[in-house]
Amino acid sequence: MPDHAPATAPGDGPDHDVIIVGAGIIGLATARELLARGRRVTLVDPDPAGGASRAAAGMLAPVAEVVWDQAPLYPLMVESGRRYRGFAAAVAAESGRDVGYLANATLVCAGDAADRRHLLELAGLQSRLGMAVQPITAGQARRLEPALGPGCVGAVSLPEDHQVDPRRLCAALLDLLGPRVRRDRVTEVLFDGERAVGVRLAGGAVLHAAEVLLAAGLGTAGIAGVPAAAAAPLRPVHGDVLRLRVPERLRPLLTRTIRGVVHGRPVYLVPRADGTVVLGATSREDDLAGVSAGGVADLLRDARRLVPAVADLEIVEMIARARPGSPDDVPVIGRLGPGLSVSGGYFRHGILLTPLGAALGADAVCGADPDPRFAAAVDPNRFTTRRNRSR
């Protein structure tokens, strides 16, 4: 086939069944789901698993991630959290790799009295939603996690908020998909009339396909031919993340994930089985693509308030990535038109929503009716519809 082949060739069928544009955790997990449904899949990404998925801490926190006024998001988080143990076990069994799934619970700690009031108010909402949440005293929290210092003035225990290691999970998925992952960049979605029929790559080569799924996150906006419903709503939300090594004499520093609110600022410490801790929680919408010095300073200060021994850890990595956020912070998943679907806009919930997002994305590609429990919340056309109603 010539490098600049036409979108369709007379007498030829597509040379690919499903092309997934993007091999972050959502693209990878959706590819696995489609393979299980008997579809042939090719993923295209210049840096598989190198974007937001690489920086993510991997908190599976359907309870802790509940915030006010995001009701459409709650059922998605709860359902995906429910599916995670089975999903992680299946990927581990299929790949022969440990994916770092730990059912080690979460403590959310308050840094002052105002933070404690905020946590208790939020715990009331979480409880009304039927979630497992238990307010505890600072003393009780320190008995559970002795590394907590006097800067913790109260806490909430979330036994059903767990963790996974996104780097290990992505590595396992990449092993499973193997040669189906092509390191290249898609520059255009090709159409025959209104139907998507393939993609053009950066070097000009064309890949014909029966179905195209856009799972490229913020990269979607740079692809020619992509409808506004898939690209225009997405905005970059940067997050700074540090990885710290715990000295042998301090291990285990923590046995649970510690999330905190310190003077209204969020912070988290996620202990890994390898003796490292992931520190993060900044969320900024600016033009600084790299690591923010101010963000790092805030994270270290707030983490030390809750866990003073953070000062004795070794910084082994600082990384920042931009997450794709939709206007309402709920993903956009579904059919855009004949032959074209999208799964994006996961904001900071991409790791947690992976099992459910993979299933919903595969449903869209396969032409299945969207799950009525989630269809309206993730409808990729919902923002256009709202604008039209307001006129």
What is the average pLDDT across 7-36? 85
Residue ending a domain, choose from 289, 307, 325 = 325
pLDDT tier, 127 (very low <50, low <70, confident <90, very high otherwise): very high
Count the Cβ atoms, other than its own, within 10 Å of residue 321. Answer: 21
Let me know if residue 211 belongs to a domain.
Answer: yes
Let me know if residue 97 belongs to a domain.
Answer: no
Let me know if residue 94 belongs to a domain.
Answer: no
Q: How far is CA 325 from the centre of its chain?
A: 10
Beta strands in the chain (DSSP E): 16-21, 41-44, 59-60, 106-110, 134-136, 154-158, 162-163, 181-182, 186-192, 195-201, 206-214, 235-245, 257-262, 265-271, 276-280, 314-325, 332-337, 340-344
Let me know if residue 100 belongs to a domain.
Answer: no
Name the pTM for this structure: 0.94
In terms of domains, do 200 and 294 share one?
Answer: no
Q: pLDDT over 70 for what percent of the chain?
A: 95
In terms of domains, do 142 and 204 share one?
Answer: no
Let me know if residue 85 belongs to a domain.
Answer: no
In terms of domains, do 155 and 242 share one?
Answer: yes
In terms of domains, do 212 and 335 share one?
Answer: yes
Residue ending a domain, choose from 302, 325, 348 = 325
Is pLDDT above 70 for 346? Answer: yes
Q: CA 163 to CA 57: how far, in whole Å?
A: 8
Q: CA 210 to CA 223: how far, in whole Å?
A: 18
Q: Domain residues for 300?
A: 106-159+235-325
Say what the pLDDT of residue 1 is.
27
Say what the pLDDT of residue 9 is.
41
pLDDT tier, 168 (very low <50, low <70, confident <90, very high otherwise): very high
In terms of domains, do 241 and 319 share one?
Answer: yes
pLDDT tier, 250 (very low <50, low <70, confident <90, very high otherwise): very high
CA-wise closest residue to 268 among 356, 171, 351: 351
Let me know if residue 179 belongs to a domain.
Answer: yes
CATH of residue 116: 3.30.9.10
What is the average pLDDT across 164-172? 98
pLDDT tier, 231 (very low <50, low <70, confident <90, very high otherwise): confident
In terms of domains, do 259 and 150 share one?
Answer: yes
Let me know if residue 253 belongs to a domain.
Answer: yes
Say what the pLDDT of residue 389 is.
47
CA-wise closest residue to 315 among 326, 327, 306, 303: 303
Q: pLDDT over 90 for what percent of the chain?
A: 91
In terms of domains, do 243 and 377 share one?
Answer: no
Say what the pLDDT of residue 232 is.
81
Is pLDDT above 60 for 63? Answer: yes
In terms of domains, do 175 and 202 share one?
Answer: yes
In terms of domains, do 314 and 260 share one?
Answer: yes
In terms of domains, do 137 and 186 share one?
Answer: no
What is the average pLDDT across 370-378? 96
What one-character-per-residue DSSP string does 350-383 give? TTTTHHHHHHHHHHHHHTPPPPTTTHHHH-TTHH
In terms of domains, do 245 and 290 share one?
Answer: yes
191-214 residue pLDDT tens? 999 999 999 999 999 999 999 999
CATH of residue 36: 3.50.50.60
In terms of domains, do 125 and 260 share one?
Answer: yes
Domain count, the chain: 2
Is pLDDT above 90 for 8? Answer: no
Residue ending a domain, choose from 300, 325, 350 = 325
What is the average pLDDT across 114-133? 96
pLDDT tier, 13 (very low <50, low <70, confident <90, very high otherwise): low
Mean residue pLDDT across the chain? 94
What is the average pLDDT across 131-156? 97
Count the Cβ atoms, other than its own, within 10 Å of residue 45. Answer: 24
Let me know if residue 368 belongs to a domain.
Answer: yes
